[in-house]
Amino acid sequence: MRSENTFGIHFILRINKMKNGKAPLRVRITVNTSRCEGSLKTLVEVSEWNASKGLAKPKSEKAKSLNSFLEQVRGQLADCYQQLQLQRKSINAEGGKNLFLGNERKEHTLCSLIEYHNVSMRNTLAHGTIKNCRDKIFSWSPHNLSYWLYFIMVSLFYLQTTIQFQVGIVKHCYYHN
């Protein structure tokens, strides 16, 4: 099976932010042509870094430990990519990074958005605005919204049934005359 997306994980040092011979280590995620970077919050000796392999030169235990950590990060990012594929979600570099960091976008329902609006705008709207009319005439609560959506669905069903009945009568009369 051929994949539609290209996926790459590269570890790089930010040499331009080097201090005292150490540079911050970053991970670069590439999906197709989009890429994003994230900090691994680790400083690495520039002299101990192999830029072509994207790993530390395994001369010391500290470097071997860092390489082990980088392989764990690579595996976790690959798992995130596979999760996005299995869920058939849009796959891009930012989405993989957010899934890895646990910053998934929360999906909202219409009721939760209305509740958020009611809470955030309660003290924002001035006296005499639509806020006061809304409070008196129609309360935007999730329960009330559910009621109105149900009412609309039943009305549409009734309308559809009525139209089908009337079309049936017209056809009956047309064919029997």
- Greater pLDDT, 78 or 1: 78
Phi-psi region of 133 (alpha: psi -120 to 50; beta: other; left: phi over 0): alpha
Instruction: Name the band, by pLDDT with cuts 50, 70 and 90, for residue 68.
Output: very high
pTM of the model: 0.52
Domain boundaries, the chain: 7-101, 110-176
Average pLDDT of the chain is: 76
Longest dimension (CA), the chain: 99
pLDDT digits (tens, 9 = 90+) for 94-149: 666 666 666 665 666 666 666 676 676 666 666 655 555 455 444 555 566 676 67
pLDDT at 2 over 60: no
